[in-house]
Amino acid sequence: MAAKQHARKTMKPWWLLALLWPSLALAENGYDPDPWEDFNRRVFAFNEVMDEYVARPLAVGYQAVTPKDVDDSVTHFFSNLEDVIVIINDLGQLKFGQAASDTARFLVNSTVGFFGVFDVATHIGLPKHDEDFGQTLGYWGVGTGPYIMLPILGPSTLRDGAGDVIGTVSGVDYLSIPDTNAKKLAAYGVRNIDVRAGLLASEGLITGDRYTFVRSFYLQRREFLVNDGESSDNWEEDSWDDDVWVDDEWDDSLEDDIDREAFEQ
């Protein structure tokens, strides 16, 4: 009986993917990244209000009382925990050399770096990589699906949402470590306040329609990551924001000014 229950639990993400697959394929054929724009804009407006009255004030307060070295250590700590997901998705995308590098990175930072508080690995030539379950689904041909703005969580797509569910149910993300819901909520809160604080300095870079800017930034970044830096023909060229996508290549200079995690989470 226990074995059957365990099997059902482990199959949940794949049943979800099976249900979503027709929608993802249909969306790809239509080349419309945002068919639910009216709904998404309403959710975005809600998120903007929550950001103005809750998230941003907390981020400002956090940044005001937290020394930069401590702030960096918090960022490194959560980044190190997320390297477990990176390693799993390295393997899922058959990037065995990168998986070996990321495994070494995780071991170095977890030991010499005192559980990831210090990013020692980067300084010895083990760079940070960015892989997740959404990218792995894309690697195996799963279409992006419609863009969707999630309450509180922010921008996503059906494929990335399915990837997030797989990551959560698999029990390998940082929220699986705390043993109580209160601790999970605390970890989630600290991590996202830290991410939001990292975005404060770049708020002035968002120009024009904020919804369109965030959507363009998110979709272009995800396209870039899934294709390992190579653009594809899945999106119409006119849909790209020229401030983010320059001469058919991702504008890396923006990464110094825009905290991508704030848009992706």
Mean pLDDT within 222-235: 75
Both tokens assigned to 7 = 């099997």
Among the ranges given (52-56, 62-66, 117-121, 226-230), the one the predictor scored with the smallest mean pLDDT: 226-230
Q: Extract the tokens encoding 140.
A: 């195996």
Residues in the chain: 265
Q: Please, which residues bridge with residue 147 across strands?
A: 157
pLDDT averaged over every residue in the chain: 82
Contact predicate 115/73, CB 8 Å? no
Range of 29-33, 168-172, 212-216 with top mean pLDDT:
212-216
For residue 232, what pLDDT is reported? 53
pLDDT at 1: 43
**What is the dihedral angle through the alpha carbons of 142, 215, 193, 108, rounded to the nearest 10 degrees?**
40
Asked if 247 contacts 231 with a C-beta cutoff of 8 angstroms, the reply is: no
Query: Is the model's pLDDT at 79 over the cut of 70?
Result: yes
Alpha-carbon distance of 73 to 147, in angstroms, equals: 33
Sketch the domain layout of the chain as residue ranges: 2-264
d(CA 215, CA 147) in angstroms, rounded, equals 8
One-letter amino acid for residue 261 of the chain:
E
Place of tokens 């925990």: 81
**pLDDT bucket at 6, cuts 50 / 70 / 90:** very low
